Structure 1
Amino acid sequence: EWQINPYFEKIGGLDFQEREGEDALAGAVERVLAKIQAKYDELGITDQPFVIVKADAGTYGMGVMSVKSADEVRGLNRKNRNKMAKVKE
């Protein structure tokens, strides 16, 4: 079931341009990665787990990124912050 309905968390109050909510997002990424790693360990999967971070609005590929650690969402550079903040209205 977890392969069809993946683990997820929804975080509100994020503003990538103003760097608001980065710690909440990093915490959510850490929690979801820990759940995935536990399931991988249970099933003997040796791949490194990853999390897809997606903005609420429709994206056309914008506002989406794949991360393998919480550090990747902390202190994003300006290019990546702009990518995450730019979404289809």
Structure 2
Amino acid sequence: MKPVLEIRRVEPDAYSYRISDQEAGGAFASIEHCLIDAAASLGHYFTTVELNLEGLFLGACAIEALRRTPKAVAQRIEQHFQPA
């Protein structure tokens, strides 16, 4: 099983996420903060996660990348996949 991490904009400067059917408890100021919290939530149970942004499938990402380089992952998402 590979969990799906769905990120969505909830306000102009706030994002939220859900992992498969588990939703975050609040909004985060950036995609980077969503990734950090999601990586912590996934613990050591999974090696990869599928990423969705505003319903658009972005691909798979290693959980370790979310833990170690969340800013770089967030920047790549923001550069290539601008939400509407």
TM-score, length of structure 2 as denominator length: 0.44
The structure with more radius of gyration: 1
Q: Which has the larger share of strand?
A: 2
In the superposition, the TM-score normalised over structure 1's length comes to 0.42
